[in-house]
Structure 1
Amino acid sequence: MTTTPTARPAPFRVGFVTGATPDKWGRTWRDRRREPLELVPVVEEEQETRLRDGSLDMVLARLPVDRDGVHCVPLYDEVAVVVAGVDHFVAAADEVELADLAEEQLVLPHPSGWTPDADQLAWPAMSQRDAIETVAAGTGVAIVPMSVARLYNRKDVVTRPVVDVAPTTIGLTWLVEYDDERCQAFVGVVRGRSARSSRG
């Protein structure tokens, strides 16, 4: 007599934007749950697309996102920092303001739309990693969340907080139409609820 193998449950797929660190939540999930969990890195430009097309169940996203049909739990703020070469003048400062960077080349567009007063070169589109490599070569500066700067940290760059740039926020997002028990269980993990806690 043959038996049909029991199908493994589909993986629960949680995306995380560059700089987010979901490992501790992943460990807690695996300690508590039978369903396999996949943590999937995503770049900021695709975080919402991957959520809405169903390829990810939840996303640790860098806000803002379109809230139409999307649940969102803001989790923590990220300080904005300027990344510059080690010989740049910002290396001598503890923190800077945007006015201090008015004559710089900004190699990566800033989400706020701020640009330096100096005429800007026609920079090609580049990833955050590429931007920091460009900065390390001594060309221009980049303003990124501190978590991104830490991820791509190099010995040939320095980072300093930019005090008049609003922090960005990491939030846990998922679609309203797919708000199931697994999503609520992961919310509980992220919020630090115990395994026996009820939803709320």
Structure 2
Amino acid sequence: MTEPSDPAPFRLGYVQGVTPGKWARMWAERRPHNLLELVPATTDGAVDMIRTGALDAGLVRLPIDRTGLHAIPLYTETTVAVVPKGHLLTVAEEAAVEDLADETLLHPRDDTLDWAGDAPGRPADHTPATTGEAVELVAAGVGVLVVPQSLARLHHRRDLTYRPLTDAPSSTVVLTWPDAENTDLMEEFIGIVRGRTVNSTRTPRREQTPARATPAANRRRPARRGRGRR
């Protein structure tokens, strides 16, 4: 007799700096028989894989091409400038975009902050491939990197620090998935990220074990009416 195959996993893409661990733990509690597979990706890569069906959903940063996709905002991130310790920007707790006018700005190819390309400052001679490579260049004194705060924390180094840019556009993290009828697993994950409880009417119901029938011997029989004396 052929054994039933394991259910297909729910594949979730996520970009650097996004930490899906909390949601993954809740998923494991609610769906112990459905594996949640976490797939690191860039925003563009995650969107492409969602469209081809390689991913069920993704945690990405705006902007994205929303054609054929749902997207719900989850939270916003502060934009910061990553600089060496002792840099002029560190004399204050915060900085403004115009303070970058005399700086060389690094634009890694995996960066999703499109607006940063219009910020004042000189473009670097070298375009780093990744945010990690850009951080190495900042440490070498080549330039300044503008990223969401979560990425600055992810690539923390003792010789670097960062300052919030008070007037820079913030970065929005969204959950995105195909614009089609939602599966039960998709509804489950939407409920998790939106904070729905297990008993929420929008949360898919799991099969419940039917209540065991009471043994016939233990059932109470209705009392018979006694016959009156004639």
Indicate the TM-score class for this superposition, using the shorter chain for normalisation: over 0.9
Once the two structures are superposed, residues 126-173 of structure 1 have per-residue CA deviations (whole angstroms, 9 ceiling, x without a partner) of 211111111011111000000111111111111100111110100100
Write the distance in 2 (CA, Å) between the matches of 1:178 and 1:149.
37
Inter-CA distance 60–117: structure 2 relative to 1 (3 Å threshold): closer
Question: Deviation of residue 66 (structure 1)?
Answer: 1.6
Q: Is the 8 A contact 2:72 2:176 kept in 1?
A: yes
Q: Which amino acid aligns with 1:116?
A: P
Counterpart of 2:50, as a letter, is L
How does 1:79-94 map onto structure 2 within 5 Å?
Answer: 79-94=78-93
SS in 2 for 1:177: coil
TM-score normalised per structure 2 = 0.81
1:19 counterpart residue number: 17
Give % identity: 42
Supply the distance in 2 between the matched residues of 1:121 and 1:170 (Cα, whole angstroms).
27
Match in the other structure for 2:7:
9
CA drift of 1:125 comes to 3.8
Aligned to 1:76: 75
**Counterpart Cα distance in 1 of 2:196 and 2:10:** 19
Q: Judge conservation of contact 1:82–1:141 (CA < 8 Å) in 2.
A: yes
Partner of 1:108 in structure 2? 107
Shift of 1:178: 5.4
Cα shift at 1:117: 4.1
State the one-letter code of the partner of 1:84.
V
Unpaired segments ≥5 residues, structure 1: none
Q: Could you say what the CA RMSD is over the residues aligned between the two structures, in angstroms?
A: 1.5
**Secondary structure, aligned partner of 1:10:** coil
Contact 1:108 1:142 in 2 (8 A): yes
Q: Residues 29-86 of structure 1: CA distance to partner in whole angstroms, max 9, x if unpaired?
A: 0111121110111123312112112111000110122222111110000000000111
Deviations 1:174-200 (A, max 9, x none): 001252111111000111111121228
**Alignment partner of 1:157 is 2:156:** no
- Matched position secondary structure for 2:180: helix
- 8 Å contact kept, 1:18–1:44: no
TM-score after normalising by structure 1: 0.93
Rg larger in structure: 2
> Bigger relative contact order, structure 1 or 2, given CA contacts below 8 A and separation 6+?
1
Distance 1:121 1:189, change over 3 A: closer
Separation in 2 of the partners of 1:74 and 1:198? 22
- 1:111/1:22 CA distance change after superposition, 3 Å: same
Give the deviation of 1:114 after TM superposition: 1.7
Tell me the SS of whatever aligns to 2:105. Answer: coil
Aligned amino acid, residue 18 of structure 2: A
Tell me if structure 1 keeps the 8 A contact 2:104–2:121: no
Secondary structure at the aligned position of 2:5 is classed as coil
The change in CA–CA distance for 1:121 and 1:146 in structure 2 (over 3 A counts) is: closer
4+ runs of 1 displaced by more than 2 Å?
115-118
**C-alpha separation in 1, matches of 2:10 and 2:37:** 6
Q: 8 Å contact 1:105–1:116 — kept in the other structure?
A: no
Partners of 2:63 and 2:176 in 1: CA distance: 11
> 2:106, 2:190 → 1: CA distance?
36
Give the Cα separation in 2 of the matches to 1:72 and 1:185.
16
